[in-house]
Amino acid sequence: MRKKTVWVAAILVALFVAAGFFVISQANISALPKPGGLETSIAAPLRNWLIRRAAGGPIPPAPPATPEAVSQGANMFGMACATCHGQSGRHPTAIGSGLYPRAADLASPGVQELSDRELFWVIKNGIRMTGMPGFGHTLTNNEIWQLVDFVRSLPHQPRIP
């Protein structure tokens, strides 16, 4: 009786491992398709929740968002971010739209509904397993706040391509 149970368990484990290998062997690693609806509906809320939690930690205080800060942020954006997000921040380049997931339109409601602290955290740390790099080693906190000010200004700027 006990021997039979062991056999059944061994067969179940073997089937489980075989099914796992099958699923992995069918995975598509091409970056060309747009992430599917099911994947996005699971990954996006999880990402937002993780960002919200992480941004609850210590974040340096924001200097005032003056017009000078926005314009400094725009310069920095051209050097560090436009490669993927496009010069306007709204139309991802060929590189940005070839990533999986796509580089975000930074004026879109999905991005603008992030808090200033969350934007700061994303720019400083990046988002693992996406193309979004972390700039914490290359930009100062002040420069990152200027970028936050620039991203915030996007919905109010005239539409440029």
Chain residues in the site for ligand HEC (CB under 6 A): 47, 51, 80-81, 83-85, 96, 99, 101, 103-104, 106, 110-111, 114, 119, 122-123, 127, 130-133, 135, 147, 151
Q: Least distance in Å: CB of 29 to ligand HEC?
A: 16
| CA atoms 159, 86, 154, 63: torsion sign | negative
The tokens describing 38, both together, are 């099911």
Q: Which is nearer to ligand HEC, 59 or 147 (CB)?
A: 147
**116: nearest Cα among 139, 74, 149:** 149
Q: Which is nearer to ligand HEC, 13 or 44 (CB)?
A: 44
Q: Least distance in Å: CB of 21 to ligand HEC?
A: 29
**Cα–Cα distance measured from residue 42 to residue 141, given in angstroms and rounded to the nearest whole number:** 31
Q: Which is nearer to ligand HEC, 8 or 44 (CB)?
A: 44
Q: Which is nearer to ligand HEC, 62 or 127 (CB)?
A: 127
Q: Least distance in Å: CB of 50 to ligand HEC?
A: 10
Task: Write the secondary structure of 96-108 as one string of H (helix), E (strand) and C (coil).
Answer: HHHCCCCCCCCCC
Q: Least distance in Å: CB of 38 to ligand HEC?
A: 15
Q: Least distance in Å: CB of 3 to ligand HEC?
A: 51
**149: nearest Cα among 128, 122, 120:** 120
Q: Exposed (0-12), middle (13-18) or buried (19+): which is 116, by Cβ within 10 Å?
A: middle
